A and B are shown apart, each in its own frame.
Chain A
Amino acid sequence: MSPIRTEKNLQSITTAHPDGVGGSPLRPDGILKVRGEFAYSSDLWHEDMLWGMALRSPHAHARILSIDTTGALTLPGVHAVMTHEDVPGAKFYGLEIHDQPALAFGKVRFQGEPVAIVAADHPETARRALDRIKVEYEVLPTLTTEEQCLHPETYGYVHEPHEYKADASGNVVHEQKVVSGLGVTDEVRATADVVVTGDYEVGMQDQAFLGPESGLAVPAEDGGIDLFVATQWLHVDREQIAPVLGLPEYKVRLTLAGVGGAFGGREDLSMQIHACLLAQRTGRPVKIVYSREESFFGHVHRHPARLSYEHGATRDGRLVYCEARIVLDGGAYASSSPAVVGNAASLGIGPYEVPNVNMLALALYSNNPSCGAMRGFGAVQACFAYETQMDKLAAALDMDPVELRRLNAVSQGSVMPTGQEIDAPAPVAELLRRVKARPLPPALDLTDLDLRDLPGALSNTSHGEGIVRGVGYAVGIKNVGFSEGFDDYSTARVRLEVIGGEPVAMVHTAMAEVGQGGVTVQGQIVRTELGVERVTIHPADTEVGSAGSTSASRQTYMTGGAVKLAAEAVRNELLALGRRRYGWTWNDLSLVGGKVVSASAGPLVPIADLLGDSAIDVTREHHHRPTVAFDKETGQGSGHVQYCFCAHRAVVDVDVELGLVKVVELAAVQDVGRAINPLSVVGQIQGGATQGLGLAVMEEIVVKDGKVLNPSFTDYLIPTILDTPPQPVEVLELADEHAPYGLRGVGEAPTLSSTPAVVAAIRQATGLALNRVPVRPEHLTGTGG
């Protein structure tokens, strides 16, 4: 018997459905989820389990002088208290740079950094134990501003030079330049008729997934650990966990538990190492579940950014040059800052042909919360800035902002500032044309007043007074897959056998299903390739090869591609079996409706008969075409696998007196190459756009002197259903011949363009400049903030 009480989703799920690629079959996990029977990582339970909890630093920067755990250890019900001294293996871990201690020693570098962990018989016992751990700190001055971080000679270092793990010097985690054409010189500037400049700021956004960080670590008889956890990438978790535990990787086995959303926030480790350490120490299963407050300290956030842009254009609206500087605050530890910088630099000019470019992007170490992956990954911040610039330029040229964008839009064959040619459809101008052509929603009807239609809604702030409508547009460009020479392959195992007289395909990958519907897509692909209805999705675990991360809009492309390869190999083996057995000579065989079918001769034999008692079991890896690293000084290089594009039109009603906003409609047009599952595609676009809406008008982790002021859902606000408008979506399918089925990653592009579209609409309603997101009521009413 499995030790996990609620185990239904940790077992295989089998569903039968006729729909393959291009259909919208129901999610295999849907029924479990609506019945409350799907086991998320926080739902796991084990007889005899203990509760783990972490003591976190109250200071953003301090020296640890001493840690006294005696009081905690003597509390009844406490089974273990651990500090850095008890870490058996490597002291550091990290996604790209191993700079983060499993438990702090020497110094703490951000508020909320874990210092000690306890295991106890009840969460309340654990909390009281944490109270009894005495940590003596010497509080140090914080580095929290760009000015401080860029002048270590005056303000010091977040990581001392001797402990420095990064490849840049000072407090710079990573920087990337991109220079194209002639760069931006006085001569180039002189060729522009119109110049617009702007300084922009993007606040720190949180992924705010609903399922808190959680999991269960179970000690195994072989001295290893079985970890059931919500994550985005099982194998890279294991790569980081095993060395800290002092275990070989094969002794750390991970199984994906139900994941309550991710959006980048589970790319880094959170509770994994701590649960494993405590399980190792106590010999008992240990469960850790973060509270919402702890969650705000327990994962990285979207990098806040300061961006400066200068665009020059000819009188007829052709872009001549762009100079840009993007400074991202990476916080205390590197996380994925280097890759975020690469994206910001290489995508920061936007989906526009700009002959001369001078771009610098960098990420800083600071004593602010660590920042890393979030949906849109380095492309979100820049999109707000360059799209604002486009609107400014259109105003300066007295042009329609959509026409200006269309005039300069990239298309297939365009060359990016990195020198990479876009060798797949890039219908940016068409997306803009279509989104603009959509009918506008009707004007607000004040004769039949429904407060719920107005900014403020039931808070009853307006009965029509002060309401002004605005419309705004934006478009963005995002990469799909990991870039800069990284081979982020995926592995899939497909097994075909006959069960109960019917052929059943089993798919086994390590892909993290985080809600995106990857498991639905996997079933569709094997149905299409193998002509079966019944598909079993095996739990994702480390018993099969890596699937790479559920991020970068890449899983349908990469793991979908791996499932396709494996299924094709299974099919080939099955047909070879048929040729051997029946001497078939047709070259037009396929698997349809549970049978081997010849296009010329019709159905030949049921798959079940051909296969009999045998099983075909194949594992395949899928690699995308190789990319290269960007040149450090010029940024030149074909660094990206694929590009994707989404255009938005936002319609807003603003109470201009009170500074309150109601988004009335958010329309999107996106090219997805091929909609493998049209329903899921639309869900991704609407969900992604809503996170962008949140960044536009409400979402920000407010940090002062390194301290987070709003670590709760009371004060970190995400959009409710009353904040989120109807979202018509139009999907184009222009195939990318390099990708499986011609598909294009979907999940991130809509998160880019919705933010600037909403802000552009607010600008139109208010006439204000609005160079910072989120836009607060204070910004709209001239009352600070």
Chain B
Amino acid sequence: MRVTFTANGRRVEADDVWEGESLLFVLRERLGLPGSKNACEQGECGSCTVYLDGEPVCSCLVAAGQVQGREVRTVEGLADPETGLDVVQQAFVDAGAVQCGFCTPGLVVQSHDLLRRNPRPSDNDIREALSGNLCRCTGYEMIMDAVRLAAARAGASGEVSR
């Protein structure tokens, strides 16, 4: 089947999609957007997190056909290519929150959503919001640091992640 939707503000189209394919597969294998990751494909790790119509979801659990006509925003679409990195992305680099980095795209999207909704999260708010994103490398401490840093920087600059 053919699936047409908006990915990172651009209209995209995928042909010959098998009906059982996930949004994640279509993004990665058909649209050249492999930033969303394929760690578990059962909704247990959060590494495939994307925005679907503005809500973060596991793209591995969305059937490709379900996004027909809808809006998807992936980690590749968080930062304006002109302006470099989103405040969350920069904080992840600066705080040492990236090791192997396989969990990073999902965590970046989920943290981005958290700060949109709650610009000054408590530590427990951060933990709750990120509890669906597994990381096997860092022990999460520097991920906590990254989100605190992003919140502080966004607060200081008055900038709200879009």
Contact = CB atoms under 8 A, between A and B. Distances in A.
B28 A43 contact: yes
Nearest to B124: A452
A533 to B, nearest CB: 18
A686 B142 contact: yes
Contacts of B138: 683, 686-687, 690
B124 A212 contact: no
Given A124-B18, A211-B100, A35 B128 contact: no
Interface in B93-151: 93-94, 96, 98-105, 108, 124, 126-128, 130-144
Interface in A426-471: 450, 452-453, 458
Nearest to A31: B93
Interface in A683-740: 683, 686-691, 712-714, 718, 720-722, 724, 726-727
Interface string A283-306: 000000101100000000000000
- Could you tell me the dominant secondary structure of chain B's interface residues? loop
B137 A261 contact: yes
Contacts of A576: none
Interface in A384-437: none
B99 A450 contact: no
A515 B35 contact: no
A683 B34 contact: no
Given A45-B29, A211-B39, A34 B96 contact: no
A690 B134 contact: no
A36 B34 contact: yes
A35 B139 contact: no
B128 A722 contact: yes
B142 A210 contact: no
Given A45-B29, A263-B136, A211 B93 contact: no
Contacts of A721: 126-127, 130-131, 133, 135, 140, 143-144
Interface residues of A, number: 64
Contacts of B108: 34, 36
B141 A686 contact: yes
B139 to A, nearest CB: 3
A37 B38 contact: no
Contacts, number: 183
Contacts of A30: 92-93, 98, 101
B44 A687 contact: no
Interface string A18-58: 00000010110111011111111011010000000000000
A5 B136 contact: no
Contacts of A36: 33-36, 74-76, 105, 108
A680 interface: yes
Contacts of A5: 32
Given A5-B32, A210-B103, A292-B40, A37 B76 contact: yes
Given A5-B32, A33-B98, A45-B29, A210 B47 contact: yes
A211 B102 contact: yes
Interface residues of B, number: 58
Interface in B78-100: 78-79, 85, 89-90, 92-94, 96, 98-100
Nearest to A292: B40
Contact of A210 (B90, B102, B124): B102
Nearest to B29: A45
A689 B130 CA distance: 20
A211 to B, nearest CB: 4
B128 A452 contact: yes
Given A35-B89, A36-B75, A453-B124, A210 B100 contact: yes
B41 A291 contact: yes
A721 B123 CA distance: 11
B66 interface: no
A516 interface: yes
Nearest to A750: B139
B139 A689 contact: yes
A73 interface: no
A689 B140 CA distance: 11
Nearest to B89: A34
B35 A35 contact: yes
A35 B85 contact: yes
Given A712-B42, A727-B139, A210 B35 contact: no
Contacts of B75: 34-36
Contacts of A503: none
Contacts of A31: 85, 89, 93
A515 B99 contact: yes
B28 A208 contact: no
B45 A210 contact: yes
A517 interface: yes
B140 to A, nearest CB: 4
Nearest to B109: A36
A504 B132 CA distance: 42
Given A261-B100, A721-B127, A37 B94 contact: no
B20 interface: yes
A722 B37 contact: no
Nearest to A6: B34
Contacts of A690: 138-140
A251 interface: no
A680 B137 CA distance: 11
A151 interface: no
Contacts of A315: none
Most buried by B among A211, A679, A727: A211
A597 interface: no
A137 interface: no
Nearest to A452: B124
B18 A26 contact: no
B102 A261 contact: yes
Contacts of B124: 450, 452-453
Contact of A260 (B32, B74, B102): B102
Contacts of A450: 124
Contact of B131 (A27, A453, A720): A720
A116 interface: no
Nearest to A451: B124
Given A292-B40, A292-B41, A33 B101 contact: yes
A36 B42 CA distance: 20
Nearest to A720: B131
Contacts of B104: 33-34
Interface of B: 18, 20, 28-29, 32-42, 44-45, 47, 74-76, 78-79, 85, 89-90, 92-94, 96, 98-105, 108, 124, 126-128, 130-144
Given A36-B33, A42-B34, A720-B131, 20 more contacts: A33-B104, A35-B79, A36-B35, A38-B101, A45-B34, A208-B136, A210-B102, A211-B39, A211-B102, A260-B100, A261-B100, A515-B100, A689-B139, A690-B138, A691-B136, A713-B39, A713-B42, A718-B136, A721-B130, A727-B139
25 contacts: A31-B89, A33-B104, A35-B76, A35-B85, A124-B18, A209-B100, A209-B136, A210-B45, A210-B136, A211-B100, A260-B100, A261-B99, A261-B136, A289-B38, A452-B127, A679-B96, A682-B96, A683-B138, A683-B141, A687-B99, A688-B139, A713-B39, A713-B40, A720-B132, A721-B140
| 6 closest Cβ pairs, A-B complex | A36-B35, A515-B100, A260-B102, A33-B101, A686-B139, A690-B139
Interface of A: 5-6, 24, 26-27, 29-31, 33-40, 42-43, 45, 122, 124, 207-212, 258-263, 289, 291-292, 450, 452-453, 458, 514-517, 679-680, 682-683, 686-691, 712-714, 718, 720-722, 724, 726-727
